[in-house]
Amino acid sequence: MRIVVTGATGNLGTALVRRLADEPDMTVHGISRRGPRVEPPYDTITWTPVDISRDGAEEPLAEAFRDADAVVHLAWRIQPGHDERLLYRTNVAGSDRVFTAAAKAGVPHLVHMSSVGAYSPASKNGTVDETWPTDGLSDSYYSRHKAAVEHLLDQVEREHPHLAVTRVRPGLILQPDAAAEIKRYFLGRLVPHALFRVRLPVLPLPRTMVLQFVHADDVADAVAKILATRAEGAYNLVSEPVVTPQVLAEVMRTRHVPIPPAALRTAARITWRLRLQPTSHGWVDLALTVPLLDATKAFARLGWTPRHNARDTLRQLLDGLARKEGLPPSPPLRP
């Protein structure tokens, strides 16, 4: 099988490249805006540099997609958060170009990496399955873009009924190799690496800051199973346990101190507008309202079981942040 992966140098793309290297009947062709250095794990696959945000990207994409058995679309931009138009050109318009090129090239299987952020808000008192509405959260550009691409996929399925479409909706994807990238995207210079090498006296967070995490290698394994079986439809991917502020505090060996959600939102809004850190208040709103996911469908239909629990995944990331870990050959993951 010939698999083409957009965003192949990113957090999940790198994990997927590693995972598919273990599949003797699969070859991988990488698509990225900035090509990696020819070093492991990127030295065993072929590459085409394409900026999907640019008009006309459909043509080189369609050429790269020709004779592919599947396209896995992972390319996505999170920063610069102060320029939503630039992000839209990659995330929404760029995704549309990828889908158009895949249909034009006659690709039989399209796998899109969506997100828990595509879902409409829900109570944290229970979980939702893949039938929950994907209208996103209006206060978050990330959520708006993920929801918009879900609706683009609805149109793709209507117009191309013979194209198998899969939507993967994971929780927050972490791995140590992505520590430097995650710090740049969400913490910036306001939070030094040294902070992760000391024991904080307290962790001030709202009680409703309840999230789910999943290791990048486990998501890559689910995608490999989807490719092998050409599984269609939507799949939630998360690992246990659900991470409450208390769980996070235990992992960080500190004590949780509850604060009002408005306090965290205000602090994020002010520091973001002053460009002291890159996380807008929309990310806080998303973390407070995003639903908790039920991954039963992936367990039952894909035979998927995450090898890493959420505590260990989070602990590995925190250790990676303390050690300034990254992956030098990859432009986005470079320390």
Give mean pLDDT, residues 229-244.
Answer: 98
Number of folded domains that form the chain? 1
The answer to whether residue 142 is domain-embedded is: yes
Q: Provide the pLDDT confidence category of residue 97 given band limits of 50, 70 and 90.
A: very high
Determine the Cα–Cα distance for residues 190 and 277; give it in Å rounded to an integer.
6
What is the enclosing helix (H) or strand (E) of 249?
helix 245-251
Q: Provide DSSP, 45-105.
A: SEEEE--TTSTTTHHHHHHHHTT-SEEEE-------TT-HHHHHIIIIIHHHHHHHHHHHT
Give mean pLDDT, residues 207-235.
Answer: 98
What are 60's strand-pairing partners?
none
CATH number for the domain harbouring residue 18: 3.40.50.720
Helix 11-20 crosses helix 216-229 at what angle (to 10 degrees)? 50
Query: What's the pLDDT score for residue 43?
Result: 93
Could you tell me where the DSSP H helices lie in 137-215? 141-159, 179-186
Alpha-carbon Rg for the chain in angstroms:
19
Query: What's the pLDDT score for residue 29?
Result: 97
The answer to whether residue 54 is domain-embedded is: yes
The answer to whether residue 255 is domain-embedded is: no
Q: Provide DSSP, 266-300.
A: HHHHHHHHTTSSS--HHHHHHHHHPPEEP-HHIII
pLDDT, the chain, mean? 97
The answer to whether residue 283 is domain-embedded is: no
Query: What's the pLDDT score for residue 190?
Result: 84
Give all strands of the β-sheet with 27-32 in edge-to-edge order. 46-49, 27-32, 2-6, 70-73, 109-113, 164-170, 233-237
What are 169's strand-pairing partners?
236
Instruction: Give the pair of three-digit tokens for residue 232.
Output: 């269609």
The answer to whether residue 25 is domain-embedded is: yes
Strand 256-258 relative to strand 203-205, pairing: parallel
Query: What's the pLDDT score for residue 17?
Result: 97
Window from 183-192, 258-267, 311-320, 325-334 with minimum mean pLDDT: 183-192
pLDDT tens-digit series, residues 75-87:
999 999 999 999 9
The answer to whether residue 299 is domain-embedded is: yes
The answer to whether residue 103 is domain-embedded is: yes
Instruction: Give the pair of three-digit tokens for residue 206.
Output: 């709202």
What is the domain extent for residue 165?
2-173+213-238+291-306
Residue 172 has pLDDT above 90, yes or no: yes
The answer to whether residue 76 is domain-embedded is: yes
Query: What's the pLDDT score for residue 189?
Result: 85
**Using alpha carbons only, what angle is made at residue 82 by residues 76 and 84, rounded to the nearest 5 degrees?**
50
Query: What's the pLDDT score for residue 227?
Result: 98
Determine the Cα–Cα distance for residues 252 and 148; give it in Å rounded to an integer.
36
pLDDT tens-digit series, residues 20-44:
999 999 999 999 999 999 999 999 8
pLDDT tens-digit series, residues 254-313:
999 999 999 999 999 999 999 999 999 999 999 999 999 999 999 999 999 999 999 999
Query: What's the pLDDT score for residue 217?
Result: 98
